[in-house]
Structure 1
């Protein structure tokens, strides 16, 4: 496995004539070859937003996901997906997305609490929501053999693209793979043909041995930081014993929910409050590729609340990071040790 990087230096002078040098480090993703750029960090403090006032304005009777409206305003699944119309696991409830991204698209709320800060998420909340998402996915697969591609997606808080403050995840099953799913599948197949080993298993073993970006593992859920990050942090979780959505056990979800709390603490330490998460899972019981997750923070910058995505990420498809992966991993390791 190759961890390739190149350095570029920009040299210029301040108005007093003093030399200034700024380094850009270009890193190449070990699987896809895609590049990411580690850029100069001016050390600008990141202030997490407080949505308490907005929560008061949008919660309760004004929110379709809050308890007083949930069963009156949210739609229901066909009987072949759920006899009850929705899928429930503890306080978590899954129901159809009124504005779907795909052929099958469920929304899963975590609980009745309208505004949940990162530190307020409980292990039970997280476990139940993802178990409900898994149940929905399995139900769809049982009735639609054409739904070949599955993912669980979490847009947390408005900077991530979340349009409703009430915490929820989206479950998507489609006949067509997304660009990311296609790229990972094709590159992983090539990697195995060339090296005789499944990529994510190799990544897990290599990063654990190197230790530079390794964070820790709880049961069969292992965490590390991406070598070529897609944002200022980029956490990777691998379900080492789960090759499909059917293989994930309740204990795995419990370990995931417990360990992600360390990731949340790492984000909070740096001032990050919002994030995007993707869980990519095969529906093929004979798949060799483990279930895996990517999680990146989202922020707005400065007094103008400027988006953290500009033309570099949106059009060049070139991620930028102000943070050094190995340093972030060191922070995360400290938080991970506290949960074990």
Structure 2
């Protein structure tokens, strides 16, 4: 199986055209971190990492997206590093213990929006009682357990979300910049375990990450007379990290925000459901229990247009006391990655 640590080999094997496209957006460096293990640590090192040699000379891959100013550092050895305070608590048990929370009785225990509620087959909307922004709604799942979902469930969640956006905009025409997010369980920032999606609609301009993506992709188009998102997918596909389906292009990101990031590029929001379900099934098979999903949408008034961009990231083991974001991510805007993207694409292909 391919591995990110051998990416230089895959880039060198690209056609001249594909190689030029790669370097138009990306750059990469291969480096080695060296150290010496004292005799007293050798037994522990062998037990923890499998061998001493790979620890004393660690290959580090740095990949930079020079268009979007994204950087990722890959060192597979980091996935084997010891983590303190790891437990084996039963996730299902914890989720069941929370049955009866406010989202289990949304009609009486959650506020509704000024324009009322939208009821889907598998969910119902509510207004967020402690809002991020002035227009902030919820899609609350009928299913309490956020890790239990079928394709039909996700289709209904997305359809109901779309209806809420249209209704909210009709009632408030000046609010036209929608963003959708799903934070699954506490590692992903969910304060209530019951499954739910959050929807924001900004007023004067889109949220910064989306504005940046839009601006940089437009600059790219002006400079190269080429579509940034098409080229991004083409690069990933040429390196074995992209898959095209009927309505979507899916890639396992070379410069992920965090572990196992998958990006789905589609024309319409309705096209996302089936592929999102496949990604989440692949996540389950890889042991992921906490994740963030963000869906970038163009302005409702169509003042500018870009594809629907759905981003999914793993937020790590629920019972590790360490956070997955440290100072390097927060202040240097550089992602430290342990999980190999090629392992993600292999599992994803099984689910598509």
**When the two structures are superposed, what TM-score results if normalisation uses the length of structure 1?**
0.83
Structure 1, unpaired ranges of 5+: 80-84, 243-247
Give the CA deviation at 1:22: 1.1
Check if 1:77 corresponds to 2:99. Answer: no
Q: Is the 8 A contact 2:74 2:336 kept in 1?
A: yes
1:127-168 alpha-carbon deviations (Å, 9 max, x no partner): 111111111111222233332321100100111011111100
Q: How many residues align?
A: 310
User: Closer, same or farther in 2 for the Cα pair 1:127/1:107, shift >3 Å?
Assistant: same
| 1:226-265 equivalences in 2 (<5 Å) | 226-239=253-266, 241-242=267-268, 248-249=269-270, 252=271, 256-265=272-281
Alignment partner, residue 173 of structure 2:
145
SS at match of 1:137: helix
19, 26, 31: which one aligns with 1:3: 26
2:164 is aligned to 136
2:144 aligns with one of 114, 119, 143: 114
CA contact (8 A) 1:110 1:126 kept: no
Alignment root-mean-square deviation, CA: 2.4
Q: 2: CA distance between counterparts of 1:14 and 1:301? A: 31
The 1:315–1:49 alpha-carbon spacing in structure 2 relative to 1, beyond 3 Å, is: farther
Q: Distance in 1 between matches of 2:258 and 2:349?
A: 19
Moved more, 273-282 or 310-319: 310-319
CA distance in 2, matches of 1:10, 1:205: 32
- 1:221 and 2:248 aligned: yes
TM-aligned CA deviation for residue 101 of structure 1: 0.7
SS at match of 1:224: strand
| Runs (5+) with no aligned partner, structure 2 | 1-20, 43-51
- Residue 48 to residue 206, structure 1, CA distance change in 2 (3 Å): farther
Cα 1:30–1:315 change in 2 (3 A) is closer
Q: Which residue of 2 aligns with 1:307?
A: 323
- Of 32, 50, 57, the residue aligned with 2:90 is 50
The residue aligned with 2:340 is 324
The TM-score normalised by the length of structure 2 is 0.81
Within the alignment, does 1:201 sit opposite 2:230 as a pair?
Answer: yes
Structure having the higher helix fraction is 2
